[in-house]
Structure 1
Amino acid sequence: MRKLVYSIASTLDGFIAGPDGADPTGPDGFWPITPDYIQHMVATYPETLPAGAREALGVTAEGTHFDTVLEGRKSYEIGLAAGVPDAYPHLRHLVFSATLTEVPAPAVELVAGDPAAKVRELKREDGKDIWLVGGAQLAGALYSEIDRLIIKLSPLTIGNGIPLFSRDAAFDPRGWRLTDHTALENGAFFLTYDR
């Protein structure tokens, strides 16, 4: 059965974005994107790079981990504001929203219903694992369905911002087992935990 994998960049103090929710890797972002970070992403998770980055880096690799990406409305709208209606055309791309009625990219699937029910349906399908790109609201709604965490831990603190899971997530303590880790020269860690 396919796994739901929440692969997300986090600060040491547990935030995935600043208080305004803007893209921390964008032009005015605070996230350090170093050459060793990019090299690791290209070599290990090429399918998680957005189309623009794949093109700029000459990445054509299909990837071995994911064939589906899930995104919440707020995360999706960051791309829309940047003029990118489908950042992941190389993956099956689902956007979860109770308020959007349409999306400008025909290949992007809009899901208005229960995220957990949809993920359980996706897990039963054949294919590679399912990547939850964000944001915190969707991650909170899918907390009980997440099978693996890949935390791209940056040697950075920001004090306040959008947490890994929204404050609406249920209080449900879970144990995780470290199954892989990679340390980069810049001080970042890629930490993989399985439930």
Structure 2
Amino acid sequence: MRRLVYLVAVTLDGFIAGPEGGDPSGSDAFPITPDLVELLASTYPETLPGPARAAMGIEGPGRHFDTVVEGRASYQLGLDAGLDDAYPHLRHLVVSRSLAGRDDLPVEVVADDPLARVRELKAEDGLDVWLVGGGTLAHALLPEVDRLVLKVNPTVLGSGISLFAGPETSARFTPVDQVDLAGGVRVVTLDRVR
């Protein structure tokens, strides 16, 4: 069975973006260092947006994922950059009520019950499903999150969008791998304890 893998950058205090949201990539809290790019390109090349893959000469199917799921705010980051599909090499689903009924987009819009849709995806054949974010969607999908791959930045924000943004809940994960990069990011992989 396919897994739902939440692969995301996070601060030491558990935030995936500042209070205003937006794309934190490249900010002081979430620097994009050469060693991080190298790790992503070699290990998770399918998580790089289409233009970055093209610039780096990366082609072919994904190693870990063939499907990506993201929330409306995360999708907006791509739209703001002029990309209506930042991941054209993956099956791309966007969870959004505001985009319901839009058939002019090159992505599948999931307007209702993302948890049921993810369960359907996991029952299909294929590679794992990548959950990009954001925190509210991650909280809604927490019952189906099987693995976390956290790019832990050695920074503290104090407030912002939480890794899992929602009411109190509980889930247990156990570490299975860790890579410490020279640029300061620690990539920690944790599997769900069921």
TM-score w.r.t. the length of structure 2 is 0.93
Q: Distance in 2 between matches of 1:57 and 1:105?
A: 26
Q: Distance in 2 between matches of 1:42 and 1:146?
A: 23
Residue 192 (str. 1) matches residue 189 (str. 2): yes
Q: Distance in 2 between matches of 1:99 and 1:63?
A: 29
Unaligned regions of 5+ residues in structure 1, if any? none
Q: Distance in 2 between matches of 1:165 and 1:145?
A: 13
Q: Which residue of structure 2 aligns with residue 21 of structure 1?
A: 21
Pairing of 1:29-178 with structure 2 (within 5 A): 29-30=27-28, 31-101=30-100, 102=102, 104-106=104-106, 108-166=107-165, 168-169=166-167, 171-178=168-175
Number of equivalences: 190
**Kept in 2: contact 1:94–1:110 (CA 8 A):** yes
State the Cα deviation string for residues 107-152 of structure 1 (Å, max 9, x = none): x101111011001110110000000001111101101110111101
SS of equivalent to 1:147:
strand
**Kept in 2: contact 1:97–1:110 (CA 8 A):** yes
Q: Distance in 1 between matches of 2:25 and 2:104?
A: 23
State the Cα deviation string for residues 78-111 of structure 1 (Å, max 9, x = none): 11122110000000000011221326433x1011
TM-score w.r.t. the length of structure 1 is 0.93
| Alpha-carbon spacing, 1:154–1:32, altered in 2? closer, same or farther (3 Å) | same
Q: Distance in 2 between matches of 1:14 and 1:55?
A: 32
What fraction of aligned residue pairs are identical, expressed as a percent?
55
**Kept in 2: contact 1:46–1:62 (CA 8 A):** no
Q: Distance in 2 between matches of 1:54 and 1:126?
A: 25
The two structures, once aligned, show a CA RMSD in angstroms of: 1.3
**Kept in 2: contact 1:46–1:61 (CA 8 A):** no
Q: Which residue of structure 1 aligns with residue 4 of structure 2?
A: 4
